[in-house]
Homo-oligomer: A and B are copies of this chain.
Amino acid sequence: MIKIATLGPENSYSHILSQKISEDNNKIILCKTLNEVFEKVDNDKNIEGVVPIENLIHGSVRECLLGLLKYGVYITESYDFNIYHCLAAKGDKFNSIVSHPQALAQCSDFLKNFREQNLIETTSTSEAMNLAKKDSSLAAIGSIDSAKNEELKILYKNIGNNKHNITRFIRIKKNFENNDIKNEKTSLIILPKEDRPGLLFEILSIFKIKDINLTKIESIPTGEKIGEYLFYLEIEGSCNQLNLKQSFDFLSTLVDVKILGSYNVKKIDQ
């Protein structure tokens, strides 16, 4: 039986998505950190992980990119998950609004209507909902599911500044399996053996020659020395395609390459 490890607390966006894709809450293991998710997947081939890799507004989730580098795990699927914030409370009257600083920032336009209320920061949107359940003077910002789970009244729906706030999650597992030539995307990490001018240009030349389209590139600090970077890349196509295979072979003569998997992108609605 496959279990899914993901980032808690209960009713976090990671947890909600994991419930949607597994359709069985008993199989979900809630972890305290992203690193813990990676560890569990790396240690047990019966555990898969669901982790956020990129938010449309805030960009890449660095801990996830470093986890993909550090652990022997591979991407098998990706999900574009719509994030809808709502305001919820026990009743209609409240003095303060509580939420995670990022959620408060994502709803700043909406919050201009509540200048008389205090804003109080919490460490997660789930914690905010939980506080609002205990104290009727508080309204919380978070997901509709977590509001429902805490039995709160939803006062306003879809209150984010950006109506299309999406977080991309990936599903990871221990073993690399990719027999499908039709997968949409391939992710890889490139580790330069030396830092010299023009290296990135040469890497991109190889993809250009083989007519491969890049959809994302990011230089990631190694965390060892400032100015020392790895490259995280997403390219179109499956790693079973001939032109991708040939590129990777040639690329490995120049730099170290870790293929993170080929996968499709599914849209999941909250």
Within 8 A of B (CB), among A18-36: 33
Q: Out of B62, B198, B217, B221, name the residue touching A200 (CB < 8 Å).
A: B217
Q: Out of B58, B121, B226, name the residue touching A168 (CB < 8 Å).
A: B226
Is A191 in the interface zone, CB < 8 Å from B? Answer: no
Prevailing SS type, chain A contact patch: mixed
Known: A123-B101, A123-B122, A218-B218. A57 touches B223 (CB 8 A): yes
Known: A58-B62, A62-B58, A221-B57. A215 touches B227 (CB 8 A): yes
Is A213 in the interface zone, CB < 8 Å from B? Answer: yes
Number of this chain's copies in the complex: 2
Contact B60 A59 (CB under 8 A): yes
**Nearest-neighbor residue (CB-CB) of A267 within chain B:** B226
Q: Out of B58, B218, B223, name the residue touching A162 (CB < 8 Å).
A: B223
Residues of B within 8 A of A164 (CB): 225-226
Residues of B within 8 A of A205 (CB): 201
| A interface residues, tally (CB under 8 Å) | 45
Is A270 in the interface zone, CB < 8 Å from B? Answer: no
Q: In the complex, A211 Cα to B197 Cα: how many Å?
A: 8
CB proximity of A125 to chain B, nearest CB, Å: 13
Q: In the complex, A232 Cα to B207 Cα: how many Å?
A: 21
Q: In the complex, A162 Cα to B223 Cα: how many Å?
A: 8
Is A42 in the interface zone, CB < 8 Å from B? Answer: no
Q: Out of B80, B121, B215, B227, name the residue touching A123 (CB < 8 Å).
A: B121
Within 8 A of B (CB), among A34-70: 54-60, 62-63
Known: A60-B59, A218-B219, A226-B56. A200 touches B211 (CB 8 A): no
User: 4 new A-B pairs (CB below 8 Å) besides A197-B212, A198-B208?
Assistant: A59-B220, A164-B226, A201-B208, A216-B219
